[in-house]
Amino acid sequence: MVNYNVAVMGATGAVGEVLLEILAQRSFPVGELRLLASEKSAGKILKFAGKEIAVQELTENSFEGIDIVLASAGGALSKRFNPHAVSSGAVVVDNTSAYRMDSDVPLVVPEINPQDLSWHKGIIANPNCSTIIMDVVVWPLYKRCKIKRIIASTYQAVSGAGARAMEELNQQTRQLLAGEEINPKELPHQIAFNLFSHNSDIGDDGYCEEETKMIRETKKMFHDEEILVSATTIRVPVMRAHSESINLEFVKPFSSDEAYEVLSKAPGVQIIDDASESHFPMPIEASGIDDVLVGRIRQDVSQPDGTGLDLWVSGDQLRKGAALNAIQIAECLIADGFLNRN
């Protein structure tokens, strides 16, 4: 078996830790594993497959001899360092927003558009976590019957804001139960026993950046500029795994029975839909697994012509919404011979 030298940018972050976990779980053919992070984190010891590896400071010279870079260190650092990785001969799978809408960079979810890997020029973008969780479920339905419009409301866990936000939820919960004062630091508002609109910047159209990502990224991956997408993104006091309420409008009648049949065979999707036990997708069950859970599959009664469908989904945004999708892209690059750039 051929092994590949892999570098992880942002190895000490929440996504970086899950990247290491999944590389080991999937027996990815790793030769050298180079863990890269800030100067502050250099020297920290992380474990991988029973071995201890020291974190190195991320520099422009960090990529010599590397085949694949898994980048999760933030958009500014990706913009700065990814070109150096590419010029060193590596292919970068970037988990930030830095390149997602670049026309020269494929935006890929392997269950949706793996063919777009064929035209990469050294960088492949990983979509936003909420986009992935939505579209892994929506895409197989779209293939069966074209969708005219998607309306999504998200319920996003604090892990989407990083490890420090997760700790803040823990800390605030303890403080509130002890009757202590809350002073938010990582998030703009109290998150324990509360929820609020996603705190990314609001554009002139009234949509925040997170919502705009879901709209634009879906159009790009589906290769459909005509599909209508609207999203409302909310941060909730859940530690891990995002949930989404999704309403679909098809171009012609499409039954919930047919949707159930399609989704039961869809890769990366697991149906949890037991009305008798009121058991439907929950973040506590989506956490730590690869599949996106889908349930509450029902006809939209506000669309009497049968063209509407409602769904409820939960997915681990650190796994399928980030680390797993990046590693699946790397696996496709290897399997399909796309490590050599165009």
Residues 43-56 have pLDDT tens digits of 999 999 889 999 99
Whether 232 is covered by a domain: the verdict is yes
Q: Are residues 114 and 188 in the same domain?
A: no
With respect to residue 269, please indicate whether it lies within any of the assigned structural domains. Answer: yes
> Residue 73: which CATH number?
3.40.50.720
Kindly state whether residues 22 and 40 are assigned to the same domain.
yes
Average pLDDT of the segment spanning 316-328: 96
Give the helix/strand (H/E) hosting 17. helix 14-25
Is 173 a domain residue? yes
The whole-number average pLDDT for the span 199-212 is 95
330 and 228 inside one domain: no
Q: Give catalytic status of residue 332 as yes or no.
A: no
Same domain, 312 and 191: yes
Q: What is the pLDDT of residues 156-205, one digit of tens each?
A: 999 989 889 999 999 999 999 999 999 999 999 999 999 999 989 999 99
The total number of structural domains that make up the chain: 2
Q: Could you tell me how many residues make up the chain?
A: 342
Query: What pLDDT, on a 0 to 100 scale, did the predictor assign at position 340?
Result: 66
Residues 170 and 103 in one domain: no
341 pLDDT higher than 70:
no
Same domain membership, residue 329 and residue 281: no
Write the pLDDT tens digit of every residue in 228-281.
999 999 999 999 999 999 999 999 999 999 999 999 999 999 999 999 999 999
* Token pair belonging to 136: 């892994």
Range of the domain at 53: 4-127+322-335
Question: Which residues 6+ apart lie within 8 Å of 139 measured at CB?
Answer: 109, 111, 112, 222
User: 283 with 330, same domain?
Assistant: no
In this structure, the answer to whether residues 193 and 165 fall within a common structural domain is yes
Instruction: Tell me, yes or no, if 242 is annotated catalytic.
Output: yes
Q: Which of 120, 145, 198, 242 is catalytic?
A: 242
CATH classification of the domain holding 302 = 3.30.360.10
Residue owning tokens 């030298």: 5
Residue 29 lies in a domain: yes
Establish if 21 belongs to a structural domain: yes
pLDDT for 330 equals: 98
Q: Could you tell me if 63 and 209 lie in one domain?
A: no
Classify residue 340: in a domain, yes or no.
Answer: no
Classify 213 as helix, strand or coil.
helix
With 80 as the cut, is the pLDDT of residue 342 above it?
A: no
Quote the CA–CA distance of 245 and 24 in Å, as a whole number.
Answer: 33
What distance, in Å, lies between the first and last C-alpha atoms of the chain? Answer: 25
Q: Out of 84, 120, 129, 198, which one is annotated catalytic?
A: 129
In a shared domain, residues 214 and 281? yes
pLDDT for residue 260: 98
Tell me the average pLDDT across 71-99: 96
- Which residues touch 51 (CB under 8 Å, ≥6 apart)? none
105 shares its domain with 83:
yes
In a domain, 342, yes or no: no
Per the domain annotation, does 341 fall within a domain?
A: no
CA 189 to chain centroid, in Å, comes to 24
Record the pTM: 0.94
Are 111 and 182 in the same domain?
A: no
User: Which of these, 107, 76, 106, 103, lies nearest to 217 by C-alpha position?
Assistant: 107
Residue type, 245: S
Least confident of 161-165, 218-222, 250-254, 287-291: 161-165
Determine the Cα–Cα distance for residues 156 and 160; give it in Å rounded to an integer: 7
Dihedral angle sign, alpha carbons of residues 53, 57, 62, 67: positive
55 in Cβ contact with 37 (< 8 Å):
yes
pLDDT > 70 fraction of the chain, expressed in percent and rounded: 99
Long-range contacts from 279-286, C-beta under 8 angstroms, 24+ separation: 280/312, 281/243, 281/312, 281/313, 281/314, 282/243, 282/314, 283/155, 283/157, 283/238, 283/240, 283/241, 283/242, 283/243, 283/314, 284/241, 285/314, 286/241, 286/243, 286/314, 286/315, 286/316
